[in-house]
Amino acid sequence: MALTIRRVLQPGERVRVLIVDDSAVVRRLVTHAIEQDPELNVVGTASNGAIALQRIPQLNPDVLTLDIEMPEMDGLETLRRLRREYPQLRVIMLSTLTERGASITLEALTLGADDYVQKVTNEPSLERSMDRLQQELLPKIRQFFRFPGSAGIAAAPKPANGAIATTAPQGPRPRPRVLAIGVSTGGPTALGAVLPQLPQDFPLPVLIVQHMPPLFTRLLAERLDTTCHLSVTEATNGMQVTPGKILVAPGDYHMKVTAAGDAVSIRLDQSPPLNSCRPAVDALLASLAETYGGAILTVILTGMGQDGLRGVEVLKKKGATVLAQDEPSSVVWGMPGAVVNAGLADRVLPLDQMIPEVLRRVALR
């Protein structure tokens, strides 16, 4: 993962976007959608990766939208070259909502793509297609930058040991009984880095909310399961929450927990989105607070927006422990930054120090 802090744009400066897609129709559609934002500027297009790589030195883009299937040089090979030659260039994949499209998109995210947007399909009109593309693509481009006059998230000052002052009760902490992880943009790479560090004897259940649509979450869980010491599964309704098992919230469902005696099980529902998200981190954390009280260790990783902030506020009142990823190691410091800026993080850590701290908190180190 490239270490990239959001760049601050100067007054009058616009984000420079290069569109790479073999379809002329898609190139025109994406161009038109981006040009609706006066702070974004399409500086060029390319019909395949080879042409894009030739044009980058002349066009100097900040962001590249990248199709997956293209002649001569496809999206994955282009991405590999981009990460070697232009590691700071932001890359958003254009994905199809198919098994193959989702699988390749997850591979792209693992290779270092910053985010993805589903291609517009099955819309009844060009206007509807344009509206949806604007709603989904423009915020994902803008998330990587701080615009003049906007109120960006400021990092809270921290002592040298990484501890952050919190609003939580400062008495003895309950021993954690569950590990909850919330993550969005940059999540597949972050999860792929941290989860394999959990040892086979990890004593807590692990519940994960990653902002992704249906199909993507199942494929993500399957991919992680091949690299982790613990079993990783997409959660289903009624599934038992047991130590040493990692459950991923399914796309388009909030994942919550319910207790019956000593047994805790998963409850999925399609109640309204929170923070424009379903699954939402806030939904999981609020549910965990009802079941586990303060005996929760929560990790907020890279992601756009502030999903998780309200849930963390609830947990801190119960004495739970919260760890947040730092800005330099985050693809987007929205979710962890919101928690840090509110003074709710017990520690702010780079990604590579997160699991050692988790293991220390559950007394495995």
Report the CATH fold assignment for 7-146: Rossmann fold (3.40.50)
Q: Which residues contact 122 (CB under 8 A, 6 or more apart)?
A: none
Res. 124: pLDDT tops 80: no
The answer to whether 115 touches 65, Cβ cutoff 8 Å, is no
Concatenating the DSSP letter of every residue in 259-304 gives EETTEEEEEEE-PPPBTTBSS-HHHHHHHHHHHHTT-EEEEE-SBS
- Across 59-73, 129-143, 232-246, least confident range: 129-143
The pLDDT of residue 133 is 85
According to CATH, the superfamily of the domain at 178-361 is Methylesterase CheB, C-terminal domain (3.40.50.180)
The structural domains of the chain, with segments of one domain joined by +, span 7-146, 178-361
Note the pTM of the prediction, 2 decimals.
0.89
What CA–CA distance (Å, rounded) separates 324 from 344?
Answer: 9
Q: Is the pLDDT of residue 4 over 80?
A: no
Q: Which residues are catalytic?
A: 184, 211, 307
Above pLDDT 90, what percent of the chain?
77
pLDDT tens by residue, 195-219: 999 999 999 999 999 999 999 999 9
- In eight-state DSSP terms, residue 87 is T
Task: Decide if 7-146 and 178-361 have a common fold.
Answer: yes
Rounded Cα–Cα distance for residues 216 and 235 (Å): 13
The predicted model gives 94-102 an average pLDDT of 83
Dihedral sign for Cα atoms in the order 203, 327, 61, 54: negative
